[in-house]
Amino acid sequence: MKILVGLGTCGIAAGAAATYAAVLSRTGPLDGSCRVEKTGCAGMCYREPLVEVRDDDGTRWQYGQITPARVDRLVSEHVVNGSPVTDWLVWTSGGKGQEQAFIDRQHRIVLENCGVIDPEKIEEYLEKGGYQALEKVLARKDPDGLIGQIIESGLRGRGGAGFLTGMKWRFTRLAPGKQKYVICNADEGDPGAFMDRSVLESDPHAVLEGMAIAGHAIGATKGYIYVRAEYPLAVERLTIAIAQAEARGLLGDGILGTGFEFHVSLKEGAGAFVCGEETALIASIEGRRGMPRVRPPFPAVKGLWESPTNINNVETFANVPWIVRNGAEAFSRLGTAKSKGTKVFAMAGKIRRGGLVEVPMGISIREIVHDVCGGIKENRKFKAVQMGGPSGGCIPAELEDTVIDYESINKTGAIMGSGGLVVVDETTCMVDMARFFLDFTQRESCGKCTFCRIGTRRMLEILSRITAGQGVDGDIEKLESLALLVKNNSLCGLGQTAPNPVLTTLKYFRAEYEAHISNRKCPAHQCQALLTYTINEKCNGCGVCGRACSAKAITGEKRKPHVIDHEKCIRCDECYRACRFDAITRM
């Protein structure tokens, strides 16, 4: 029997390191038949810290919210006495958990090993068939056939744009040049996205193997992983993984006894969203300011140090070993006509089960939100999903039958993006949401193109004015015309897509903009400047609101209805949250 503790960043943030220590000290005195191991992220962020008990026959029992205080009972009952603690069981391989639907509706290719193996032990990756795909392609010595296989699988880039991966490899292979490079884009800058981080933390070898296979396909001997500086644990685990793979002759010179050499180095980003764009990323690796340049020439022809370079996303690479092992056909059987395989989404926002899910392409938004993620918290109303972060848009609840495939998502005005999916309910203001993203893109614009640099700022000013209750007639039209100008006059994807959050919210939630401007009302009751707080007849004069009010705007005698002085009220919401009698009306 073994006990596995999920030690990804979200697990650790939720206290998993203390749980791990508690498990070690509780099992230490036992007879040694129960091993304790670390594993990565199982994706159930909403029930962290996660602890799994795995029987010798492989039966898995996943427990949720295992704080150190719960460790003793868990070990005593399940490990020592052999009776699982059903109260805390979230998922079991035998179908007995409380939240079975979360895992059972998924189809795991990229996340196959995440939360299953110890990412710091290459042996465990090898046991799962790791590096067999690399061995296979090196034995076949047919890079063109390999590229053909990747094209046939239908794998498209998971970094956002969805370009056919095999085609990109072919262009790089055909480009003239002695030295070629493979780059793994692990910059994951979209706020609300953490898929790539989890893969790197939980199954780093899958990404390394995918890169080495790409290296063989295009004829490169050197690879870089450009990883976000905010991901220290991913950096640590990648460093361990590279060293282990080199020690076993799976990376480095003369891989697996063949003449193929492939070296991987890490480059840490320094906090610039635009560096996720491929030409900016290359500039950053070269030690310059990360500013995009005109394409063509594409990196496939002229990339790092002016040499042909193939850039793919983390998740794209993680799919590759699976495709080589299981065949292109097994992959292309999943999904829709033009979008094959699966997609990993980082689910966050107002849903019951937030975390990492991997679903087959072709599943509908409704199924993801309601079936996999359990619907909206506190029984509120599902309003929209935001897909694709600052480059994407909002898809309203009415379109929840839209299926996950590049073309269908594009039709709504949003984009597939890299996989951040934030679900919002009726308490989220869509104008504020658009403002949030414009604030982000405006800050992250590198400044090279005037329309992106200044246009996004002007758009932000208008949105700020509207949410502050100072919108004027004509603001919506101004936003629309600026949006078009920014879209059409920017060099890279940052500017070209920055207006999407505004355009999609205008398309589906125009009435909310109008309510802010014409009626000075925020229908979601979120924009503070537009709120009025009053005390209604339910007030029994308990005085809690008055004590909560930092502006001293609430007065009244004990046990008599209180009143709010609107001149003094700073609309901080504290009274509304403090009142237990529903006696404060927020309009």
Partner 1 sequence: MEATRPFDFANLHFKGEGGTLIPLLQKVQTEEGYISKERIEEIHRKTGVPLSHIFGVATFYAQFRLRPVGRNIIKVCHGTACHVAGANAISASLKDILQIGDGETTPDRAFTVETVSCLGCCSLAPVIMVNKDTHGNLAPADLRKALAPYRSGKA
Ligand X SMILES: Cc1cc2nc3c(=O)[nH]c(=O)nc-3n(C[C@H](O)[C@H](O)[C@H](O)COP(=O)(O)O)c2cc1C
Task: List residues binding ligand X (CB under 6 A).
Answer: 157-161, 163, 185, 187-189, 274, 276-278, 311-313, 316, 418, 492-494
Least separation, in Å, of the C-beta of 301 and partner 1?
A: 15
Least separation, in Å, of the C-beta of 219 and partner 1?
A: 20
Contacts of 9 (CB under 8 A, 6+ apart): 41, 194, 197, 198, 201, 231, 233
Question: Which stretch in 6-14, 208-216, 452-460, 489-497 sits in contact with partner 1 by CB under 8 A?
Answer: 6-14
Spatial CA neighbour of 105 closest among 395, 366, 405: 366
Q: Which is nearer to partner 1, 269 or 499 (CB)?
A: 269
Spatial CA neighbour of 116 closest among 9, 38, 63, 232: 38
CA Rg value for the chain: 26
Distance CA(361)–CA(336), nearest Å, equals 6
Strands 420-425 and 342-349: parallel
Spatial CA neighbour of 39 closest among 11, 68, 63: 11
**From candidates 73, 330, 436, 480, binder to partner 1 by CB under 8 A:** 436
Q: Which is nearer to partner 1, 152 or 268 (CB)?
A: 268
Which residues make beta-bridge pairs with 347?
355, 421
Q: Which is nearer to partner 1, 318 or 433 (CB)?
A: 433
**From candidates 74, 200, 208, 285, binder to partner 1 by CB under 8 A:** 285
Distance CA(521)–CA(437), nearest Å, equals 21
Positions in 367-386 near partner 1 (CB under 8 A): 386
Site mask, partner 1, residues 383-422, x = CB under 8 A? Answer: ---x--x------------------------------x-x
Q: 279: part of which helix (H) or strand (E)? A: helix 278-285
**From candidates 3, 4, 5, 12, binder to partner 1 by CB under 8 A:** 12
Interacting partner of 402 out of partner 1, ligand X, none (Cβ under 5 to 8 A depending on kind): none
Which residues make beta-bridge pairs with 346?
356, 420
Interacting partner of 348 out of partner 1, ligand X, none (Cβ under 5 to 8 A depending on kind): partner 1
Least separation, in Å, of the C-beta of 226 and ligand X?
A: 9
Strands 181-186 and 222-227: parallel
271: contact with partner 1 by CB under 8 A: yes
Interacting partner of 114 out of partner 1, ligand X, none (Cβ under 5 to 8 A depending on kind): none
Interacting partner of 252 out of partner 1, ligand X, none (Cβ under 5 to 8 A depending on kind): none
154: contact with partner 1 by CB under 8 A: no
549: contact with partner 1 by CB under 8 A: no
Spatial CA neighbour of 162 closest among 344, 308, 309, 313: 313
Q: Using an 8 Å Cβ cutoff, are 100 and 111 in contact?
A: no
Q: Enter the DSSP assignment of 558.
A: T
499: contact with partner 1 by CB under 8 A: no
Distance CA(109)–CA(87), nearest Å, equals 30
Q: Which is nearer to partner 1, 323 or 422 (CB)?
A: 422
Positions in 181-210 near partner 1 (CB under 8 A): 188-194, 197
Least separation, in Å, of the C-beta of 49 and partner 1?
A: 12
**From candidates 72, 142, 230, 236, binder to partner 1 by CB under 8 A:** 230
Distances (CA, A) of 285 to 275, 282, 331, 447: 9, 5, 33, 19
Number of residues located near partner 1, criterion CB under 8 A = 58
Q: Look-up: residue for tokens 């949030």?
A: 436
Distances (CA, A) of 321 to 17, 137, 158: 31, 10, 15
Interacting partner of 283 out of partner 1, ligand X, none (Cβ under 5 to 8 A depending on kind): partner 1
* Ranges assigned E (strand) in 148-205: 181-186
Q: Which is nearer to ligand X, 99 or 196 (CB)?
A: 196
Q: Which is nearer to partner 1, 218 or 527 (CB)?
A: 527
The SS3 call for residue 277 is coil
Interacting partner of 185 out of partner 1, ligand X, none (Cβ under 5 to 8 A depending on kind): ligand X
Distance CA(47)–CA(65), nearest Å, equals 5
Q: Which is nearer to ligand X, 51 or 494 (CB)?
A: 494
Contacts of 129 (CB under 8 A, 6+ apart): 325
Interacting partner of 512 out of partner 1, ligand X, none (Cβ under 5 to 8 A depending on kind): none
Interacting partner of 350 out of ligand X, partner 1, none (Cβ under 5 to 8 A depending on kind): partner 1
Torsion (CA) 403, 408, 410, 415 in degrees, nearest 10:
20
Q: Which is nearer to ligand X, 161 or 233 (CB)?
A: 161
Single-letter amino acid, residue 585: T
Q: Which is nearer to partner 1, 43 or 154 (CB)?
A: 43
* Ranges assigned E (strand) in 407-458: 420-425
Single-letter amino acid, residue 291: M
Interacting partner of 493 out of partner 1, ligand X, none (Cβ under 5 to 8 A depending on kind): ligand X
Interacting partner of 197 out of ligand X, partner 1, none (Cβ under 5 to 8 A depending on kind): partner 1
Q: Which is nearer to partner 1, 263 or 338 (CB)?
A: 263
Interacting partner of 115 out of partner 1, ligand X, none (Cβ under 5 to 8 A depending on kind): none
Contacts of 177 (CB under 8 A, 6+ apart): 307, 308
Interacting partner of 267 out of ligand X, partner 1, none (Cβ under 5 to 8 A depending on kind): partner 1
220: contact with partner 1 by CB under 8 A: no
**From candidates 273, 322, 331, 406, binder to partner 1 by CB under 8 A:** 273
Least separation, in Å, of the C-beta of 120 and partner 1?
A: 19
* Ranges assigned E (strand) in 428-552: 533-535
32: contact with partner 1 by CB under 8 A: no
Burial 464-503 (b: 16+ CB within 10 A, else e): ebbbebebeeebbeebeebbebbbeebbbbbbbbbbbbbb
Least separation, in Å, of the C-beta of 197 and partner 1?
A: 5
**Interacting residues toward partner 1 by CB under 8 A:** 9-10, 12-14, 45-46, 48, 188-194, 197, 229-231, 265, 267-273, 283-291, 293, 305, 346-350, 354-355, 386, 389, 420, 422, 424, 428, 433, 436-437, 440, 444, 446, 573
